Chain A
């Protein structure tokens, strides 16, 4: 995401697509800047590794660019592009599981501080992870994209190719499930 906004950033998706089809690099750069963050968020739902998520996004942009030749300009770009991201993500996940590929787990950032608070932090995180694991994949994804990454319900609906109401339901269930899973921890903290 460039610090200095180019004139292309003000253009609509349709105008940018037209320019990209004429081979304009700046227009493609503007599309990339516009969709990079949400695309990475979606891609990361298909993998545990950031490197893999980046590969998925890069491949998705490449496919989108190649597909623009036959793309109907009257159609909106956004849902079409996110369909590509999800397809590439699914293919990558399937490939990984088929070949038993295990990405290197991303180590949590080391934090300074006393050993007690570090142990405490680890315990809270384990409980949170266990709570998240209890959710269905779609509940987890909606929760993460809305509540952790800060995308709006309509945005997430477009990113995942779902109805807004479906996203709301998944989100509601995820929050309820997580609250339930973390209740013992809250009780312990409350009584301590």
Chain B
């Protein structure tokens, strides 16, 4: 106890020095924080690994559902077997290669010659 006066220094230089010392002392930790910045998910993974695992599984499922699966129609038409048996006539080709069934109006004109003679 010294007197009824403030003990805190008024000198700005004193506070600057002290602040500088404290900040310099903190540098290794600040660098560590900075280094971890790029891998934000690593701390998340450390804290709740189950959540991260579920998110990864979910992302995989979404990717497979959106574009990973084969397209049956195209795969069938481009396979060598189908190409080998692909008939010469336009009507059969239409059935084999189209993604959707051809409309009747398109098919009717092509059917000349297919009809059975009574």
Chain A complexes with chain B: yes
Chain A residues within CB distance 8 Å of chain B = 1-3, 20-25, 28-29, 32-33, 36-37, 40-41, 44, 50, 54, 57-58, 61-62, 65-66, 68-69, 106, 108, 125, 128-129, 132-133, 144, 148-150
9 CB contacts below 8 A, A to B, read A23-B34, A28-B30, A29-B23, A44-B7, A54-B18, A68-B33, A69-B43, A132-B1, A148-B7
What is the CA–CA distance of A34 and B33 in the complex, to the nearest angstrom? 21
Chain B residues within CB distance 8 Å of chain A = 1-8, 12, 15-16, 18-19, 21-23, 25-27, 29-37, 43
Which of A1, A37, A68, A148 has a CB less than 8 Å from the CB of B5?
A148
Which of B16, B29, B34, B37 has a CB less than 8 Å from the CB of A2?
B16
Which of A36, A44, A61, A133 has a CB less than 8 Å from the CB of B26?
A61
Which of B8, B12, B18, B21 has a CB less than 8 Å from the CB of A3?
B12
Pair count A-B, CB < 8 A:
93
The 7 closest A-B pairs by CB, nearest first: A23-B34, A23-B33, A1-B15, A129-B1, A32-B19, A23-B30, A61-B22
Say whether A129 contacts B3, CB under 8 Å: yes
Q: In the complex, which residues of chain A have a beta carbon less than 8 angstroms from the beta carbon of B12? A: 1, 3
Q: Which residue of B18, B22, B23, B36 has the most chain A CB atoms within 10 A of its CB atom?
A: B22
Q: In the complex, which residues of chain A have a beta carbon less than 8 angstroms from the beta carbon of B2? A: 106, 108, 125, 129
Q: If A2-B16, A22-B37 touch, does A65 touch B30 (CB 8 Å cutoff)?
A: yes
What is the CA–CA distance of A24 and B27 in the complex, to the nearest angstrom? 10
Say whether B7 contacts A50, CB under 8 Å: yes
